[in-house]
Amino acid sequence: MAKTSRTRRTWLNLCFLVICAGLVAFLLLAPEETTSPLPRDEIHQQFHQIQSKKEAEKGCVGCHETGGEAPLPDTHPDPYRCLFCHKR
């Protein structure tokens, strides 16, 4: 019975190591972050100081909606969570 327990433990350890190696490989092969951060200019400074991301995102729509001062390109994904991608 002891041999069966040792064999099972060896397989569990081996599976654990394979999973860990796969996770490390996945993280090392992940692409670099390409999304630009929230600019640190005087226009965006007020949004850096708001603690809640959802509150800060409410100010994005005014300038970045279609027809605004700085409209988003057509290829931009739906702009409902700006600070999920654009880090402060």
Q: Can you give the pTM of this predicted structure?
A: 0.56
Residue 47 near residue 56, CB atoms below 8 Å: yes
Mean pLDDT of the chain: 87
Distance CA 86, CA 42 (A): 17
**DSSP string for the chain:** -HHHHHHHHHHHHHHHHHHHHHHHHHHHTSPPP-SPPPP-STTTHHHHH-S-HHHHHTTHHHHHSTTSSSPPPTTSPPTT-HHHHS--
Highest mean pLDDT among 7-11, 61-65, 73-77: 7-11
Summarised one tens digit per residue, pLDDT across range 5-47 is 888 999 999 999 999 999 999 999 998 888 889 889 998 999 8
Question: For residue 36, what pLDDT is reported?
Answer: 86
Question: For residue 82, what pLDDT is reported?
Answer: 87
